Copies of this chain bind each other. A is one copy, B any other.
Amino acid sequence: MAAIGKRVWAIAEGWIPQGDGFTDRALASHETACIVNAGESDAHIDLTIFFADREPVHYALTVPARRTRHVRFDDLTDPPVPRGTDYASLFVSDEPVVVQHTRLDSRKAEIALMTTLAYSQD
């Protein structure tokens, strides 16, 4: 079977809500890039974050072979991704992967969710 996925993925939406209705990590407002590597080699990914009014920044991620990694943008630290700020993200991997974007918003007492497959190309 062919390798699963593509090497280039982009998420045009990006915005981490300011404020949480809950202190539980799983209920605090966050955005996630879910990545699955169905292949037999570890995937090394260059993640670029784009902003509306400043130059992009880069991060390095690894997703081991036969594993999924759900990366929370609020876990990125060098530099941190600001809350309440428009951004977008680009993933360039050395192995084929699949990327999906999810937001949980708990600014109010209840939560709201959204998700989408990211855009991909070779």
Q: Which residues of A contact B (CB under 8 A)?
A: 1-2, 4-5, 8, 10-15, 17-18, 26-27, 32, 34-38, 48, 50-53, 55-56, 66-70, 84, 86-88, 90, 92, 97-105, 107-122
Q: Could you list some 30 contacts between A and B, CB below 8 A?
A: A2-B8, A2-B121, A2-B122, A4-B90, A11-B98, A12-B35, A12-B100, A13-B34, A13-B100, A14-B68, A15-B70, A17-B26, A26-B84, A36-B88, A37-B50, A51-B67, A52-B69, A68-B87, A69-B86, A88-B98, A105-B113, A108-B109, A109-B110, A110-B110, A111-B112, A113-B113, A114-B114, A115-B115, A116-B117, A117-B118
| Residues in chain B near residue A69, CB distance under 8 A | 52, 86
Number of copies: 4
- Contact present for B115 and A116 (CB under 8 Å): yes
